[in-house]
Amino acid sequence: MKSILSFLLSLTLLLNSAEVTPNIVVILSDDQGWTDYGFMGHPVIKTPHLDKLAAQSIVFERGYVASPLCRPSLASLLTGRLPYDHRITGNDVDGNKNREALDQPLRASFHKFPSFIRSLSQKGYLTHQSGKWWEGSFQDGGFTHGMTRGGRHGDEGLVIGRETMKPVTDFIDMAIAQKKPFCVWYAPFLPHTPHNPPKRLFDKYKRPDRADDVAKYYAMCEWFDETCGELMTHLDRQGLRENTIVLYICDNGWAAPSTNAQDPNQKLWKGYALRTKSSPFEKGIRTPIMISWPGHVTPQRAAELAHAIDFFPTIAAATRMETPRELQGINLLDETSRKARDAVFGVSHSVHNMTPDHPDGTLQYLWCVSGDWKLLVRYHGSDTTEYKNIHIWDKQATRLYNVKDDPHEKNELSKKHPEIVETLRKKIEAWHAVKS
């Protein structure tokens, strides 16, 4: 009799454990280089709070985003789809011309796609948006709570981190009071421009031999880290860490212009986009990706490739939700799927104009990373706005790099390895049939 009761008790505990629903916290930095963290080995920038999170996480040092530009990058993160699929390929439809009217039909079409936010809300989660958000109001995106009312970049939501953390911490406390699982979208406008860090941080990084714009950017990275520390401390104080999955990613890369002063390839782009934001080089598309879930995820450095489109499948698997069958991403907590992955892919389009009915119409690059190798394939989509002179697009048809030996892409190798170019080109063509 005792053995039967013991068995029933164990079974009850097991079933109750299986029904535990984890909270989700998604942390997104904005315009930060993939090397610019303590845990990624930066010799100057201090990020102690993210370093601590990394020590508690599975860290993918070779993470990538779908596009080197915030709006399409975030759209892919949410939906698990590539820009040619969800059709948000740039930041604007036609530069600064009639933005709201042109955006309305595009947003309406975009919000027909399932997203992990909408799916979590439908599952009974309380979901909160703060910070960067392009696609209308937080309600438009399927959040139950949030800050953005519908303006460009995120309007009222952009005060998060820079001015206060209270909307996020108050939301977490409300979810606790209501005994509801929750999801936080924490996407502060950091370290994004304006680079106006607190004086104490700027003074910390300012040196006679360091350009002020570099010192300010470094200080912004630490400022962002401090806000992450506030968020993680609140989770700890409320006793939530054991049942909270924390995922980290950056929307796209960045490098202060002065840091590129000696870059022989800087002539390919003008202005802030020197081989970084809006370009398909590593500084534009690579990011560390972290997943922390105490008791469920063993902290480690993973060698496999990870991608922003993996967030939806990963969150869905952890919370027992269905995902659309056509999604290309994988569950990053499934080691078998990670090891089976052969390559990751992405795009680069014109920045300030889109052709939603024909997304490849503004295509500038397709790219592929497979093993140690990366191939960029140049296309010649339209770039018709007054912003086009910001970019002098590359004229070279292909660029090949060994990103294991040469992660900063100083040595272009397409002429030395035509067979690798051809292999990766075929992978790209199989992945995406270009219609332009």
Q: How far is CA 280 from CA 40, 83, 288, 409, 430, in A?
A: 20, 14, 16, 11, 19
Distance CA 76, CA 412 (A): 29
CB neighbour list of residue 222: distance below 8 Å, 6 or more residues apart: 45, 46, 47, 197, 201, 204, 205
User: How far is Cα 323 from Cα 247, in angstroms, rounded to an integer?
Assistant: 18
Q: For residue 435, what pLDDT is reported?
A: 40
Give the residue ranges of the chain where pLDDT is below 70.
1-19, 258-274, 386-392, 434-436
State how far the Cα of 74 lies from the Cα of 121, in Å rounded to an integer. Answer: 18
> Is the entire prediction scored with pTM above 0.85?
yes
Q: Which domains does the chain have, with CATH numbers?
A: 22-340 (3.40.720.10)
**Separation in Å, CA 373 to CA 60, 75, 208, 291:** 17, 26, 39, 25
**Cβ atoms 188, 161 nearer than 8 A:** yes
- Cβ burial of 5 (10 Å; 0-12, 13-18, 19+) is exposed
pLDDT, tens digit, for every residue of 54-103? 999 999 999 999 999 999 999 999 999 999 999 999 999 998 888 888 89
Q: What's the one-letter identity of residue 387?
A: Y
Q: Which amino acid, 257?
A: P
% of the chain exceeding 90 in pLDDT: 83
Q: CA geometry: angle at 339 spanning 307 and 399, to 5°?
A: 55
Q: Which of 248, 334, 260, 324 has its CA nearest to residue 290?
A: 248
Residue at token pair 């400022």: 223
Paired with 127 in beta bridges are 183
| Residue 163 DSSP SS3 | coil
Residue-level pLDDT at 388: 63
Rounded to 10 degrees, the C-alpha dihedral 34/40/45/46 comes to 130
Whole-angstrom Cα distance, residue 149 to residue 302?
38
